[in-house]
Structure 1
Amino acid sequence: MRQEEYAGLTATQLAALVAKGEVTPVEVTCAALERTALLDGDLRAFCTLDAQGARAAARAATAATAGGPLYGVPFAVKDLIATAGLRTAFGSPAYADFVPDQDDVAVERLRGAGGILLGKTNTSEFGYSATGLNPLFPPTRNPWQPDLSPGGSSAGSAAAVAAGLTPIALGSDGGGSVRLPAAFCGLVGFKPSMGRVPAYPGCRDERHPGVSSWETLEHIGPLTRTVQDAALAMSVLAGPDPRDRHSIPGGDVDWPAAAEPGSLRGLRIGYSPTLGYLRVDPGVRAVVDAAVARLERDLGCTVEQADPGWSDPAEGFWACVAADTDLRGLRRLAAAHRDRMSDYVLDLLDTPWTAEQLTDGQSTRRAVANRAARYLSDHDVLVTPTCPVAAHPLDRGGPQGLTPGQWLGFLWPANLAGLPAISVPAGRLADGRWVGLQIVGRHLADATVMRLAAAFEQLPRSSGSPASM
């Protein structure tokens, strides 16, 4: 299999080819590693590539001649998610040489389904920034326009999928870190309902300050090129695990069926282009307005423009992050590594958080969750832009002149409320930058979110090739 052929195939297609015996896991993995060697020197999607381990796993899979739903399919894992025996640095000098003693549940499940782990992808330090930048590894570039950010914090995972290095990559989303890079890289990024995909030891292991953070906000989800591939990944990832107290029973979602477009006539869409408090770039607004019009015109959905009614939760969101953080332990680490740690991590640690601020954060969470529930009792889904702006230059720590709350504000509510949310490509600006459409559903209504995303994906749209391909 040539690397060009490999890059054009989805995970679903690769799994079918391997299952039919038309190509072996070794051939697929060699093509993946060849493409990575060709492109990743400039792209920097991977921070730790495990070529030797991938080849060994592929040989074992080929010898077995049969496997699970991902048999022979390569995948990559964000460097915030633990991988047994493979360096997981969390983007931080404090863990530069850390090697976990166990896989995260999500990695364990992908391997168990026959997937071939290629390596770890770049991320912001401990995931505390949406830029994808950290002090340990070179910055990851956007494959479509290498001078732009791919978004974060799952920067490397998005870049790897967009450039065709892997058809599936795991990301983690505590405040939009799957959906934002999906929007900036023209991908599908799915954040399932809280508890659908167990997280352990990530966010849960008290032995590792910084790693054991974001417990009540974090969701693990796939970045893919198609909704069908996201559903394939979720069919493996979803289901409870006793090590995660937030995990929920599975079986109520037929993931492959959810990705098959069907009639959505009469589906009630609430469209909020600003959430009532965000400023949106006019070009982004025009692309999203046009996409929403197609949901009504081409799919037969009923669209009502209406804001959900919560106030800007930015201050409360960061208080929830702080409450999830081992401040004592991470401050102790920062004392030893301060001169090499990111400003965004140090800013949170240097804030003299009060009990009132932390409890106000919980009140904000409740207010968003309650208003979202009321809004979604009158609408089947909430649709918004994924981000009010398109990708910014790589050398900036975010869009110029905007606070994190101003450019990440569409993302945080779904984390605060634990709701399923997906970003799908809505279209592109005149300069080629991608714009994402976000679909948010009721708690546990993951199938509805995926069905609408799949139906929208099937509508004709323009396409292109990443600049690095």
Structure 2
Amino acid sequence: MTLATDLTRMSAADLAAAIRSRSVTAVEVTEAALGRVNALDDHLHAFVERTDAAAIDRAAAVDEAFDRGEDPGPLAGVPIAVKDLIATAGVVTRSGSIAYQDWVPDEDDIVVERVKAAGAIILGKTTVPEFGYSGVGHNPVSPAARNPWNPDLTPGGSSAGSAVAVATGMAPLSLGSDGGGSIRIPASLCGLVGFKASMGRVPLYPGCRDERFPGVSSWETLEHIGPITRTTADAALLMSVIAGPDARDRHSLPAGDVDWLDCVSEESVATAVEGKTIGYTADFGLFPVDPRVRDVVGRAVGVFADLGARVIELDPALDDPTPHFWPLVMADSDLAGMRQMVADHGGQMSPHLVELLTRPWSAEELTTAQMGRKRLVNQMWKLMQGIDLLVTPTLSVPAFPIGMQGPEVIDGQMVSAGSWMAFLGMFNMTGQPAVSVPAGVTDDGLPIGMQIVGPHLDDGTTLRAAAAFEAARPWAHRWPDPAPAATSEVTS
């Protein structure tokens, strides 16, 4: 195995330690990552914008800082991929839309500021559906991202390219965003860890907050930014850098009540779920689920019993929250600005997005959705009073063919296009912490994710449980062997 291959298969935590010890340089690590991108991305399409020269320059600066005896930060020299919905100063941020094909932000998003300050090396921007309004990875302006476990299938979205980059070793860390599952979806379909912390743990700006940019300013009461990684330890490392308050985000929470790195320490993991009560539901009594998913996740949740937890099967009495999701998104959006965008570019925009934006939404529909969210929050906190954690499938299905918005049939039932994501958006509506971890694979080798959900603000217990499951059922040694897809390119 070559040095470059070794480096692209190392965790972010191990790379950071190796660079800090000077057993490898940041430039060597960055060159290895870029080599991996060169080898794979022509057919997987994780990246829509690469910053190779800037990455090498930043890596050289990290090496020079270490040579001077300085500390460039906890992520010094570690490559990272950044979702193309997250603003990057001086680097085009298209958001998957023709309307922003030439937009170069004049400021970084807060999380980009923070990873830069921590010494990370940004490799470029990753593929997204248009403005994130989809759970898959295709848009009208760039090739569709492909699942590395089977490139004819979707990797999920909207953090599509971010997941593909990590799953294939192009980058050990990536930043995703999650307004309705968009970190957890591709994590599940690509066999990764995807962590959505409590609403406000990770501040956002200008994304979702800057009213000058229609589309970019959407999702304010639903959006979270977080890590997509191969391990819970790497997720904790990235959270230790990006979490914490910022005055630019009115939702941001005070720092100090979660020690992210301690959540994944051996001491914490050893007893993480002992004595805990974990509630499990395969479907909430509401959603059709592929039998393969039921089987894999149903067996995986039993690991918690082996670790000393009490696992109980729930029959939650929830009203179906899914009808309220898109009205909430619309209420967060600049409808006037985005409808003007449709007037200017509608023929070059994603049809499902155009349909959403041009629908004659009534005030009653939007306020009914707000009441539906309140009802869900109240039902969920009452449910969580009797348990420490809630476990569900992450998705109702394994990966499906690229180009689709979702399967039409699940377990023999006709479903709407978004039904396969039904376990996810509810926890954006409540703001609870949720993490997807690899639970197993189908008979044909497709990853299936399990979702672990904590009570409001209990991020620590949620991440510790994920780390305990990983310790019992490790997965990071599994790597896809991606080959070029047989099908033609797909755009929205």
TM-score (ref. length: structure 2):
0.94
Paired AA for residue 346 in structure 1: V
Equivalent residue runs for 1:43-122 within 5 Å: 43-65=44-66, 66-122=71-127
Aligned length: 468
In the alignment, is residue 465 of structure 1 matched against residue 485 of structure 2?
no
1:311 aligned to which of 319, 322, 340: 319
* Bigger Cα displacement from structure 2, 399-408 vs 195-204: 399-408
The 2-side partners of 1:383 and 1:304 are apart by: 10
Q: Is 2:202–2:244's contact at 8 Å kept on the other side of the alignment?
A: yes
In the alignment, is residue 274 of structure 1 matched against residue 296 of structure 2?
no
Q: Is 2:180–2:223's contact at 8 Å kept on the other side of the alignment?
A: yes
Measured after TM superposition, the shift of residue 362 of structure 1 is 0.5
Q: Is 2:322–2:426's contact at 8 Å kept on the other side of the alignment?
A: no
Aligned to 2:274: 265
Equivalent residue runs for 1:100-249 within 5 Å: 100-249=105-254
The 2-side partners of 1:16 and 1:97 are apart by: 38
Q: Is 1:310–1:371's contact at 8 Å kept on the other side of the alignment?
A: yes
SS for the counterpart of 1:458 is: helix
Measured after TM superposition, the shift of residue 399 of structure 1 is 1.9
4+ residue runs of structure 1 moved beyond 4 angstroms? none
Paired AA for residue 465 in structure 1: W
SS for the counterpart of 1:467 is: coil
The 2-side partners of 1:152 and 1:259 are apart by: 27
In the alignment, is residue 369 of structure 1 matched against residue 377 of structure 2?
yes
Paired AA for residue 133 in structure 1: H
1:175-200 CA-to-partner distances (Å, cap 9, x unmatched) read: 00000100000000000000000000
Measured after TM superposition, the shift of residue 304 of structure 1 is 1.1
Q: Is 1:146–1:467's contact at 8 Å kept on the other side of the alignment?
A: no
The 2-side partners of 1:18 and 1:383 are apart by: 37
The 1-side partners of 2:210 and 2:114 are apart by: 19
Structure 2: where are the runs of 5+ without partners?
Answer: 410-414, 484-492
Q: Is 2:163–2:228's contact at 8 Å kept on the other side of the alignment?
A: yes
The 2-side partners of 1:166 and 1:307 are apart by: 40
Measured after TM superposition, the shift of residue 145 of structure 1 is 1.0
Aligned to 2:401: 393
The 2-side partners of 1:307 and 1:113 are apart by: 44
Measured after TM superposition, the shift of residue 98 of structure 1 is 0.6
Aligned to 1:343: 351
1:207-242 CA-to-partner distances (Å, cap 9, x unmatched) read: 000000000000001000000000000000100000
1:290 aligned to which of 275, 299, 304: 299
Measured after TM superposition, the shift of residue 7 of structure 1 is 1.8
Aligned to 1:38: 39
Measured after TM superposition, the shift of residue 136 of structure 1 is 0.5
The 1:370/1:10 distance shift into structure 2, 3 A limit, reads same
SS for the counterpart of 1:242 is: coil
Aligned to 2:446: 433
* Bigger Cα displacement from structure 2, 436-445 vs 259-268: 259-268
The 2-side partners of 1:242 and 1:465 are apart by: 40
Q: Is 1:291–1:426's contact at 8 Å kept on the other side of the alignment?
A: yes
Measured after TM superposition, the shift of residue 295 of structure 1 is 1.1
Paired AA for residue 447 in structure 2: W
Measured after TM superposition, the shift of residue 404 of structure 1 is 3.7
* Bigger Cα displacement from structure 2, 129-138 vs 60-69: 60-69
Structure 1: where are the runs of 5+ without partners?
Answer: none
1:273-315 CA-to-partner distances (Å, cap 9, x unmatched) read: 101200111111000010011211x211111111332211111
The 1-side partners of 2:178 and 2:326 are apart by: 14
Measured after TM superposition, the shift of residue 461 of structure 1 is 5.3
Percent of residue pairs bearing the same amino acid type? 53
The 1-side partners of 2:427 and 2:315 are apart by: 15
1:65-105 CA-to-partner distances (Å, cap 9, x unmatched) read: 13111011000100000000001000000000110000000
1:16-70 CA-to-partner distances (Å, cap 9, x unmatched) read: 0011111111111111111111111111100001101101111111111131110
SS for the counterpart of 2:472 is: coil
1:419-458 CA-to-partner distances (Å, cap 9, x unmatched) read: 0000000000101111100001111100000000000001
Let me know the Cα RMSD of the aligned residues: 1.1
Aligned to 2:490: none
The 2-side partners of 1:44 and 1:329 are apart by: 30
1:325-369 CA-to-partner distances (Å, cap 9, x unmatched) read: 100000001111011000121011111101110001111111111
The 1-side partners of 2:406 and 2:160 are apart by: 13
TM-score (ref. length: structure 1):
0.98
The 1-side partners of 2:371 and 2:32 are apart by: 51
In the alignment, is residue 251 of structure 1 matched against residue 256 of structure 2?
yes
1:119-166 CA-to-partner distances (Å, cap 9, x unmatched) read: 000001000000111000000111111111000000000000000000
Measured after TM superposition, the shift of residue 2 of structure 1 is 2.9
